[in-house]
Structure formats: C-alpha cells, structure tokens
Structure 1
C-alpha cells in the first residue's frame, strides 16, 4: 500500500504546479494521470500576457500573478537544467483607428503604466510586420515552453515514483473509518485533489460546477522574414519559438465542436497571421486542445461541500500558465493552514448549485467542512 498525504488526479499545468508546491513544502504526493499529448496544457503556446482579450483590460491580479509565475518557472529551470521561460515584450498591433484611440487613452493611466511602454511613442519599423495603424508594446509578458516543462517534470516524477500514468477509476475510491481515502486497494491518502481540466465534466463529485469545455486550435509555422524579438498580437498571438518557427493561436470554439483539428481553424489562423505579416509562411503543424472554461471566467479552487478531504483545482482557462503557480500557493495554504482561497476563485461561490442527491460510487458522504 502506497501512503501519501495528497493524491492528485491530473497532470496538466494545474496538477504540475500544485504537486511542485506541495512537495516543496515537504508533503508526500502521488499524481495519477492519463497522458494526453493533445491536452490543453501541452497544445498551448504558454503565453503570459498581462492584458486580457479584445477589450484590452488588465488581466485579473496580473501584478500579483506574473512575478510568482516567473519565479516558479525560473526555479524549475535551475532545478532541471533546461530553459522553459522566455520573457519577451508583446506588440499589440492596432486593428482600427478607434481601437488605437481607445487603447492609447486607457494605457496612459495607472496601473497601465506598469505594463506598457510609452503609449505616445512612434513604433520603429519592423521588417515583415504590418503595423500601418501602429501598436503598443506590453511589458512583463512572454511565454513558457509548457509542453517541454511538463515532460521534464513528468520524467522526474516517474523516476522518483510520485507520478504514475494510469486512468483514474472513480468507483475504486473508498472512504475509510479514520477519514482517509483508499484507491484501488493500493493507495491511501489523506486528501484527494482533482486537477483534470476539461475532463472534470465527468467527475462524479464536481459535475455540478459550471465548467464548459472550450476548444482551441493552434498552428505551427515557419516564416523566415518575421522578427523573433517580440510576441505579436492582433486577433491572435504569434509566439516565436526560435529558428524561424512560430506558434499562432488560438481559436475559441464552444460545444458542440469537432474532435481534432479543423480546416476552418487553419484558415482562420492563417488569415490572422496574414494580417500581421507580409512575409510568406509555411504551416508545419496544427493541434487542438480543450480548455476548462468557467461561467464567470475565474478558476475553481476549494473543497467539496460535503466531502472535507476531496478538493478541486481547475478552470484555469486560457491563462493557466500565468495563474497556476500563484493559485497553487493559494490552494496549498488552504489545504495546509486552513487559509480560505480568495473569494473570486473559491468554489463556495457556486455552492448553491450543489445538491447532495444520490451519492455517487466512492467515498461515503461525511459531515460538511466548517
């Protein structure tokens, strides 16, 4: 029997950061994960962008999330002897005069000045970049080679024995009289944390949470004439990967959506890249992943309303690379010290959606956590 404090289900960016945080605090952790090469975390370009969406609003808690994320990825680089984090400015290219005026006016105020360069400065010419309407350079952004990071951490976990690749069977999870949980008769844990991403819609304990799968597709392209010193953004992002390779993305598709990649997404992303460069490019790959989106666009952290040792870390959406390290700290503080997660992410905000109903197979339902 393997005995641990924390059994984690899922090893995308949520499971990986939480496992690292708990292990750094000296806790025994076991992660069970079904390896999926096209999971949302592995498909994503790993963009860290302090600006959110078409409205050009500052990302939620960007000033707190970004430094913790950067420190986490740099720590993993030092430990594993491999580079994952690339801090690069993001060039937001304007699509219209109206957008130009709105963004420049907004970015002239605090707290924008911490994240943007002089909004009134004229952009220098960039060969290969269409910037007829100008643009704005965003500081403190960049990207993480998240697929490579997850692979390196997984290799470490497999070697040290705290990561196992297997499909979790909820019917084999059983509550014990001492308050612990056993899984499949061979793992005993004090706590279970669900980190499955979009697969949480099939989780018998958290199906009531408003998680909606959202499909995103990306292209890998080669373009010899496109500069590699910045991330470009104009309806899509263009992340430089080195050696004239770029990742272009991402689309957003709500259910129902086709399984796998689509011609529609390839055409859409190709056109968006055409809008940013006059250089010829060649598509070398296309991938699709499914994100866990939440109704209010905030992550989901906390403890099941009736099962005090069953928890969730999910709903990171398209900004998981930036949010996960700090939120892993928040959840670890809750599990370890009883410090409540931030109200914006605490699943208590959705407890009215929970109905005890018929108990699913697995742990018996104990008294609610105070």
Structure 2
C-alpha cells in the first residue's frame, strides 16, 4: 500500500502548480495524469494579460495575481535552470478612432496607471505591424512556456516516483472519514480533482457549472514581423523565437469537433492578416478544450458531502495567471491556515449538487 498526504488527479497547469506547492511544503504527494499531448495546458500560449476581452477591462484581481505568478515562475526557472517566463509588453492595437478614444478615457482611472505603459495614437511604425489607429502598451504581463514547464515538472515526478502516467478511475476510489483508498493500492488523506475539462465527466463533480470550450492556435513563421512585444487585436500574436509566433485563439462552445479544424485555421489566418500584411507560413496547428466556469471565476474547495475530496480548476483562458495564486490558496486551506475566497469557493454552487448523489 502506497501512503500519501495528497493524491492529485491531473497534471495540467492547475494540478502541476498545486502539487509543486504541496511538495515544497513537505507533504507526500502522488499525481495521476495520462500525459495527453493535446491537453489545454500543453496547447496554450501561456499569455498573461492584465486586460480581459473586448471591453478593455482589467482582469479580476490582476494586481495580486500577475506579480504573484511572475515570482512563482521565476522560482521554477531557478529550480530547473530553464527559461519559462518572458515578461513582455503587450500592444493592444486599436481598431478605430472610437476604440482609441474609449480606451484613453478608461485608462485615466486608477488602477489603470499601474498597467498602461503608454499610448500610440498613430502608427508606431513596428516592423510588419498594421496599426493605423495606434494602440495601448500594457506592462507587467508576458507569456509562459507552459509545455516545457510542465515537462520539467513531469520529468522530476517520473524520476522521483510521485507522478504516475495513468488514467485515474474514479469508480475505484473509496472514501471515508480518515481519507481515501484508490484501487486498493493507494491511501491518501485527501484527493484533489484537477482534471480540467474532463471534470465534466467526473461522477463526483459533474454537477458543477463547467462550460468547456474548444480553442485552436496556429504556429506561424513570419521572420520580418516585430517580435519585441505581444500583439493583440482580435487575436494574440506571441513571439516564440527565431521568427516564429503562436497565434490564437478560437473559441467554440459545445457542440464542437475536438482536434484542429480547417475552420479554425482559416479564422486564425484571417485574424493574423489584419495585424500584418507580411507573408507568413503555418507550421503547426493545435487544439485543446479549456475548462471554464459560467461566472468566469475558478472553482476551489471540498465536495459538499465527501470531506476527503476537493476540486481545483475552472481557470479558462487565464490559467497561467491564476494557477500559482490558486494553488497557494488551496494549499493554505488544506493545511487549515486560511479560508477559500468566497468568489472562488466551490460552495457558491452547492445548491446545484443533487443531494445524496456522489
């Protein structure tokens, strides 16, 4: 029988950061993950943007989440001797004079001054960039190389034996007052579901209002396009080095076809053609299914009727920015140090749980 303090199911950005935090605090952690190459975390461009959506609104708790995430990823860089986090300016390109005026008016308010580095009210003259109406330069953001980061953590997990490349079978989990036993082989004090979009099929948590959506990205070669910043207008264009960029992302609600699609490729190529008139070559296309929540806030906390079981996820497109802070918050709660914030607590949806069904 293998004994552990915490059994984490899933090693995407949510599960990987949580497992790392718990291990750093001295807990015995065991992780199950099937190692899907096309998971949402592996496909993601890892963009950390202080702004959300077309309304140019500041992201939720951005003043806390953004610097926290940056410090966290720098710590991982030191640990593994690799570069994961690239702090970069983000140029939000204006599509019209009306949008330019609206953004200029909004950004005069606090706390915008902390995230806006400046404005270009005319074309800033960046190589290959179509910006006739200028744009807003956003600071303190950047992008995370999620796939290499997860690979570094997984390599350590395989080497040290705390990561098992297996699909977790929830029907083989037996819970009780003292914890849980899995498949008659693993005993854990607590089990945390970090399965991403797959949690919608989890018998313990399929009642949660998870709204999975399908997203695609393109990798393109465009050697002459400015790579000094992230570009954003209807799509993000993230520099990956050596004249290559990741362009994304599409957003499809169910029902959708999993995997890359011709429609996704055409849509993203058309969006990139608005940003640049330079020729570009598509060298890769990937697709994943994001785990989102209807109110666009994460879900953390215990199952209403199974004290030994918790949930961690629902990060949507903000996963790399949310994951470090949410991992520490949940770890603090698991250790009895702090309460989960009400706006991310799973308990806000307890009324949806069909009582008596686990």
Q: C-alpha displacement at 1:345, in angstroms?
A: 0.4
* Equivalent-residue separation in structure 1 for 2:174 and 2:303 (angstroms): 16
Gaps of 5+ in 2: none
Per the alignment, residue 154 of structure 1 pairs with 154
1:212 aligned counterpart, secondary structure: coil
Within a 5 Å distance, the mapping from 1:225-244 to structure 2 comes to 225-244=224-243
Q: Is the 8 A contact 2:123 2:132 kept in 1?
A: no
* Equivalent-residue separation in structure 1 for 2:103 and 2:178 (angstroms): 54
* Equivalent-residue separation in structure 1 for 2:258 and 2:306 (angstroms): 34
**Count of aligned residue pairs for this structure pair:** 358
Q: Does 2:180 match 1:187?
A: no
Per the alignment, residue 24 of structure 2 pairs with 24
Q: C-alpha displacement at 1:171, in angstroms?
A: 1.4
Per the alignment, residue 97 of structure 1 pairs with 97
Q: C-alpha displacement at 1:82, in angstroms?
A: 0.6
Q: Is the 8 A contact 1:89 1:142 kept in 2?
A: yes
Q: C-alpha displacement at 1:213, in angstroms?
A: 1.1
1:118 aligned counterpart, secondary structure: strand
Instruction: State which drifts further: 51-60 or 120-129.
Output: 120-129
* Equivalent-residue separation in structure 2 for 1:211 and 1:240 (angstroms): 31
2:334 aligned counterpart, secondary structure: helix
1:157 aligned counterpart, secondary structure: helix
Per the alignment, residue 367 of structure 1 pairs with none
Per the alignment, residue 301 of structure 2 pairs with 302
* Equivalent-residue separation in structure 1 for 2:355 and 2:216 (angstroms): 37
Per the alignment, residue 136 of structure 2 pairs with 136
Q: Does 2:165 match 1:165?
A: yes
Within a 5 Å distance, the mapping from 1:330-345 to structure 2 comes to 330-337=329-336, 339-345=338-344
Structure 1 residues 6 and 264: CA distance shift in structure 2, 3 A: same
Q: C-alpha displacement at 1:339, in angstroms?
A: 1.9
Gaps of 5+ in 1: 360-370
1:351 aligned counterpart, secondary structure: helix
Per the alignment, residue 34 of structure 1 pairs with 34
Q: Is the 8 A contact 1:10 1:196 kept in 2?
A: yes
* Equivalent-residue separation in structure 1 for 2:46 and 2:357 (angstroms): 40
TM (normalized to structure 1)?
0.95
Q: C-alpha displacement at 1:180, in angstroms?
A: 2.0
Per the alignment, residue 216 of structure 1 pairs with 215
Per the alignment, residue 69 of structure 2 pairs with 69
Q: C-alpha displacement at 1:83, in angstroms?
A: 0.5
Output one character per residue of 1:282-312: Cα deviation in whole Å (capped at 9) or x when no partner.
Answer: 0001000000111101010010111111000
Output one character per residue of 1:328-364: Cα deviation in whole Å (capped at 9) or x when no partner.
Answer: 11111111115221111001110111122344xxxxx
* Equivalent-residue separation in structure 2 for 1:259 and 1:204 (angstroms): 22
* Equivalent-residue separation in structure 1 for 2:123 and 2:280 (angstroms): 24
Q: Is the 8 A contact 1:108 1:119 kept in 2?
A: no
Q: Is the 8 A contact 1:180 1:191 kept in 2?
A: yes
1:283 aligned counterpart, secondary structure: strand
1:217 aligned counterpart, secondary structure: strand
TM (normalized to structure 2)?
0.98
Output one character per residue of 1:135-162: Cα deviation in whole Å (capped at 9) or x when no partner.
Answer: 0100011100000100111000010111
* Equivalent-residue separation in structure 1 for 2:173 and 2:258 (angstroms): 30
* Equivalent-residue separation in structure 2 for 1:315 and 1:307 (angstroms): 20
1:78 aligned counterpart, secondary structure: helix
* Equivalent-residue separation in structure 2 for 1:163 and 1:143 (angstroms): 26
Q: Does 2:292 match 1:293?
A: yes
* Equivalent-residue separation in structure 2 for 1:54 and 1:205 (angstroms): 35
Root-mean-square deviation over aligned CA pairs: 1.1
Q: C-alpha displacement at 1:175, in angstroms?
A: 2.4
Q: C-alpha displacement at 1:122, in angstroms?
A: 5.4
* Equivalent-residue separation in structure 2 for 1:135 and 1:322 (angstroms): 23
Q: Is the 8 A contact 1:107 1:119 kept in 2?
A: no
Instruction: State which drifts further: 116-125 or 210-219.
Output: 116-125
Per the alignment, residue 266 of structure 1 pairs with 265
* Equivalent-residue separation in structure 1 for 2:10 and 2:357 (angstroms): 26
Q: C-alpha displacement at 1:117, in angstroms?
A: 1.6
Q: Does 2:321 match 1:322?
A: yes
Output one character per residue of 1:159-196: Cα deviation in whole Å (capped at 9) or x when no partner.
Answer: 011111101111111124x6121101111000000000
* Equivalent-residue separation in structure 2 for 1:25 and 1:260 (angstroms): 38
2:116 aligned counterpart, secondary structure: coil
Q: Is the 8 A contact 1:104 1:120 kept in 2?
A: no
